[in-house]
Amino acid sequence: MPDPLTFPDGFHWCAATAVHQVEGNNTTSGWWEWETGPNPKAPMADPSGAACDHFHRCKDDIVLLAELGLNTYRFSVERARVEPREGEFDREALRHYLGMADSCLEHGVTPVITLQHFTLPAWVTRAGAWTNPGLPSWFARCTRHVMEHLRTRAPCICTINEPGNMITRGYLGTFPTPPFVRNLDAFGAAAAGLNSAHRSAREVVRELAPGVKAGMAHALQDWHADPGGSPVLHWARELHEDRFFAETAEDDFLGVQTCTRLDVNAPPASWGT
């Protein structure tokens, strides 16, 4: 018989959520405006609405998570709640996320916190989102407020979730999401702004919470090509992954998920005789 499958001591059995998908009523988020505007561009039948009301049920949900035997919970902070208007920080929202981390620790669950999971405050979206030169400093400022509350409660801080997915969807239209731009120059500016924001936030984490690890979570493809498709593959992968993945060199950890295989093949050619 084969040996039983075992996992090393300290292995993290984790559940994870994205804040906009579970909290509900993120009314100051750019995605909320996308879903509820007079001409919504959202490709879903219904807006997020109350979602599963995790904002109010989070402590009960953490208890259920622990009862299932999981020992880690990765959740995100909704920046639109923390800074609903430029320079205006909501202390109740900050205390809410601090309470979530404390609830995890109370029930033997390690909190892992994401600072930005796709959504931006509506005021940031209106100001140009990731293409605005001020965004890295705004992101660092918000990170400072969050970390001043959290300190070392979470051993790992993920600054930004799936940067390649987010920026290629929003600025190249691969799966249209806010800000609904299809422009290669805007994409380049947004990608550079995101990478700069990540670096700025990483330094804030290290300054305020020594010993806490900072990194990004990347969604990567399993890329394949026939010989003729290799140049296109490298070009597409650089847009979607490589320019963000390069930022990991100075990070403390690397988050990776690979969900799909992507074939990039040259079209067959035939010649008559």
Whether residue 7 is contained in a domain is answered as no
How confident is the model at residue 39, as a pLDDT?
Answer: 72
How confident is the model at residue 273, as a pLDDT?
Answer: 41
Contacts 24+ apart (CB under 8 A), 98-103: 98/149, 98/150, 98/153, 99/59, 100/58, 100/59, 100/62, 100/75, 101/150, 101/153, 101/154, 102/153, 103/58, 103/59, 103/62
Whether residue 23 is contained in a domain is answered as yes
Contact 80, 42 (CB under 8 A): no
How confident is the model at residue 227, as a pLDDT?
Answer: 80
Q: Which tokens sit at 24?
A: 């509900």
**Is 102 in a helix, a strand, or coil?**
helix
pLDDT tens digits, one per residue of 178-231: 888 899 999 999 999 999 999 999 999 999 999 999 999 999 999 999 888 888
Whether residue 191 is contained in a domain is answered as yes
For 256, the domain range is 14-263
User: Following CA atoms 155, 117, 21, 213 in sequence, which dihedral angle do they give, to the nearest 10 degrees?
Assistant: -10
Tell me the pTM.
0.92
Whether residue 69 is contained in a domain is answered as yes
Residue 259 has pLDDT above 90, yes or no: no
Distance from C-alpha of 118 to C-alpha of 120, rounded to nearest angstrom? 7
Contact 189, 248 (CB under 8 A): no
pLDDT tens digits, one per residue of 113-154: 999 999 999 999 999 999 999 999 999 999 999 999 999 999
CATH number at residue 139: 3.20.20.80
Residue 28 has pLDDT above 60, yes or no: yes
How confident is the model at residue 75, as a pLDDT?
Answer: 98
Residues 6 or more apart whose CB falls under 8 angstroms from that of 81 comprise 26, 28, 90, 93, 96
CB 263: neighbour CB atoms within 10 A?
A: 12
Whether residue 203 is contained in a domain is answered as yes
Using a 10 angstrom Cβ sphere, with 0-12 exposed, 13-18 middle and 19 or more buried, the burial of residue 44 is: exposed
C-alpha 28, offset from chain centre: 18
Whether residue 128 is contained in a domain is answered as yes
What secondary structure letter does DSSP report for 241? I
Distance from C-alpha of 18 to C-alpha of 113, rounded to nearest angstrom? 10
Whether residue 272 is contained in a domain is answered as no
Provide the percentage of residues in the chain whose pLDDT is more than 70.
95
pLDDT tens digits, one per residue of 60-77: 999 999 999 999 999 999
What secondary structure letter does DSSP report for 38? S
Whether residue 111 is contained in a domain is answered as yes
Domain count, the chain: 1
- Residue bearing tokens 């075992």: 6
Average pLDDT, the chain: 92
Region 253-264 average pLDDT: 89
